[in-house]
Structure 1
């Protein structure tokens, strides 16, 4: 069960839980779903015995595992689901053998982010994983490189922000900027709002937007880590549409270059299906980049991700999926 936006209505209780986890020096790095499944499948990991088991590994937990300072806010936020002796969800009225958290908490350095509990099977799941770490690392590298951005960042937007890590990491480094964390999912926006609060990123503005349709005006910086998988179930946090999942990323490039101020930057992290040694995504956007930018750079951050996807329908000719980073500066 994935909580809806209504589940996060107790904003203050969830924010209090986040601050308590930070005070406890909680740390957790989120792994791939396949690794998560393998680690949780070990017999000794059937039930959680500590904070990382409850909030990181999404294991069921029994009474007494959580201290009152954490158990209270979790229940106040309505995010503790009862489970039976096998760790499965139970119906109302049945005596629980334990509970499980309906949110997961991951960390990037000192910063804590709530997102959907594992496994993320539902259409409205708010995803966070290894791609998030690559995305924020690439972002921080650009922000830390002298002269990488051609104009000061006063107004920025993260398209498909999910739980908000990209927007928040930017906002904490550009305190004078207004950073819009946009998404089409109410649950994502609710979590981005909580996470901004927990991390004291008060210049983040969560708002609903399909690409850039929900926010007016121009931007100094447009950034995104969109879905890029061709998903047969069209789950919004995975499905990029079009040939091999590239459609959404292509649309983002065009939308961003239409709305950036002159000298403004597009920072895009995405996955690309490589077919017979060729990069169809780059081929699709090269003309727009050459015609509408002063400069652009494009690099593979990881040559082989989501290898298991190659066995799925639609990937018969794909030899690998690469994680790529695009930095384009709109023509002045």
Structure 2
């Protein structure tokens, strides 16, 4: 998702799409590729095909004002005898979120997909059941800012920090917060807790957790089993949570011979610490196509999981 693009023009485009009732649910990359490979889907027929399915489009498909705004934002490229958008707009929580177009293979990709929905849902479920006020929250590795924005909508008196190292993600998060009309989200560049000061009451995170042979930053979790960033998020939260503060960590893990290496590593870190915690599988079998690759040659399945950890008061 090459920078720069004009955030103000992109915001105008997002507002126009929102006013027009645009909605789109983003699927997994494998499903996206499968649907787009159908012969009838080679070219866009409407606005969802352009800004949702990332299909090539010709004259007359977009309203003139939408095309003008997308061009002014710098997110339309020539593609043969047509054009293609470099961004998608997706719906979550009745809000629109701008993120990278498909395919998501650039180093600075800003990803939104089913795991984003799951992570934000888990954060909101935790927030509903959580005792005590949230005065300060952080979304670590915020990407589009979906987690931060969802939390901020429910905690209007709190400062919510959206933290990421990817400049493209920070641009998207700023646009998305403005699209949602949220003014208590602070978008900052930083690696885990870099750029933060003081303590916080809630941390949410959906770090990369796959073993990615291409080493793409939005996808590769680091280490031999993809858990390095997830463990680093836990370490940061354990340092920064105040008494009663809690972490919601959405991650994933390859299960090998019935053993979950991520759970074992998290449990080791939490052993003896002043935290109550739960860990559960949200979906026991995702990304099955990855099992064909060398990185998961020993795994029997890949699960997505949620850790909830709260420092005792």
Q: TM-score, normalised by structure 2?
A: 0.97
| Mapped partners of 1:280, 1:40: distance in 2 | 35
Partner SS for 1:314: helix
Contact map agreement 1:150 1:265 (CA 8 A) in 2: no
2:27 match: 31
Contact map agreement 1:262 1:330 (CA 8 A) in 2: yes
| Mapped partners of 1:218, 1:251: distance in 2 | 17
Aligned-residue offset at 1:143:
2.1
**Deviation per residue, 1:121-169 (Å, 9 max, x gap):** 111111111101111111222222xxx3233111111111101111111
Matched, 1:115 2:99: yes
2:133 match: 152
Partner SS for 2:35: helix
Runs of 4 or more, structure 1, over 6 Å off, are none
Paired residues for 1:160-171 under 5 Å? 160-171=141-152
1:331 match: 312
Unpaired stretches in structure 2, ≥5 consecutive residues? none
2:72 match: 76
One of 180, 197, 208 as aligned partner of 1:216: 197
Partner SS for 1:230: coil
1:3 match: 2
One of 147, 161, 164 as aligned partner of 1:180: 161
| Mapped partners of 2:48, 2:108: distance in 1 | 24
Partner SS for 1:282: helix
Aligned-residue offset at 1:18:
0.6
Matched, 1:280 2:279: no
Paired residues for 1:41-56 under 5 Å? 41-56=37-52
Contact map agreement 1:292 1:331 (CA 8 A) in 2: no
Aligned-residue offset at 1:313:
2.0
| Mapped partners of 1:51, 1:291: distance in 2 | 54
Partner SS for 1:244: coil
1:90 match: none
Contact map agreement 2:93 2:150 (CA 8 A) in 1: no
Contact map agreement 1:293 1:328 (CA 8 A) in 2: no
Paired residues for 1:12-31 under 5 Å? 12-31=8-27
2:232 match: 251
| Mapped partners of 2:44, 2:163: distance in 1 | 34
One of 102, 105, 108 as aligned partner of 1:124: 108
Q: Name the Cα RMSD after superposition.
A: 1.2
One of 119, 133, 152 as aligned partner of 2:117: 133
1:189 match: 170
Matched, 1:59 2:79: no
| Mapped partners of 2:274, 2:138: distance in 1 | 19
Paired residues for 1:292-311 under 5 Å? 292-311=273-292
Partner SS for 2:24: coil
| Mapped partners of 2:273, 2:48: distance in 1 | 47
- Taking structure 1 as reference, are residues 293 and 307 closer, same or farther at Cα in structure 2, changes over 3 Å only? farther
Unpaired stretches in structure 1, ≥5 consecutive residues? 85-96
Paired residues for 1:263-274 under 5 Å? 263-274=244-255
| Mapped partners of 1:17, 1:232: distance in 2 | 35
Partner SS for 1:121: coil
